[in-house]
Copies of this chain bind each other. A is one copy, B any other.
Amino acid sequence: MSAEIRVLLVDDDALVRSGLRLMLGGAPDIEVVGEAADGSEVLPLVAQCAPDVVLMDIRMPTLDGLAATEQLRARPDAPEVLVLTTFHTDEHVLRALRAGAAGFVLKHTPPPEIVAAVRRVAAGEPVLSPAVTRQLMAQVAGGGARPRAAEAQARLAALADREREVAVAVGRGRSNAEIAAELFMSVPTVKTNVSRILAKLGLNNRVQIALLVHDAEELG
């Protein structure tokens, strides 16, 4: 934990880069080991400079920061990526996190906090600006999927073993004939099972079974 934190700056604006360089230069434990003005330069530069943290802008000419992050994080022992940008649409945030960014900080954040963010990311901690945190919270809170999923699982639990197998197959979009083959029973038997499932769950047709199964499987 005593070595310096090696940082690579990626931003198409030279002014922003020099500003960051200044801001980070003030910290004795941080060293800026390189700069890139476009996402396409990132991969080679990372190989060359071996940074611990990449400070990544999103909006850049040929290859944007999100794509660059995706490429970067796809390879083994990649450095941590701290996205630093002005834009934070849901799209951007989600893609960044999905790509494996360790943090997402807005540019208008006061300098000392940006420095702190770099340190935290280097230490393996996640860092999000409050506005981004709020988005994330809204995202998971809003996605009312969970209660549905839980309830769906509960309802499916009421089925007999064989019935559940059939239900799952229906949920995969299989026809009765396919299910019969898969589960080694006759087509008529599949039908009876489907009927029983419908009755037990109070549904009208196999599509509703499929949707229910699908819900139940959402995030197991």
Interface residues of A (CB under 8 A from B): 94, 97-98, 100, 120, 125-128, 130, 133-134, 136-137, 139-141, 143-146, 170-171, 173-175, 203-208, 210-211, 214, 218-219
Residues on B with beta carbons closer than 8 Å to the beta carbon of A208:
173
The A interface is mostly helix, strand or loop, or mixed, namely helix
Chain A to chain B contacts (Cβ below 8 Å), 11 pairs: A100-B141, A125-B130, A126-B134, A128-B128, A128-B133, A128-B137, A136-B137, A170-B207, A171-B211, A174-B207, A206-B207
Query: A108 → chain B, closest Cβ, in Å?
Result: 14
Number of identical protomers: 2
Assess the A97–B140 pair: CB atoms within 8 A.
yes
**A211 contact set on B, CB distance < 8 A:** 171, 173, 210-211, 214
Q: Choose one: B120, B146, B207; the contact of A173 (CB below 8 Å).
A: B207
Q: What's the Cα separation between A125 and B133 when bound, in Å? A: 9
Alpha-carbon separation in the docked complex, A206 to B170 (Å): 11
- Complex Cα–Cα for A126 and B134 (A): 6
How far, in whole Å, are A170 and B210 apart by their CA atoms in the complex? Answer: 12
CB distance from A96 to the nearest CB of B (A): 9
* Cβ-neighbour of A141 out of B98, B137, B173, B205 (below 8 A): B98
CB-CB under 8 A from A94, the residues of chain B are: 140-141, 146
CA distance A130 to B116 in the complex (A): 14
A126 to chain B, nearest CB (A): 4
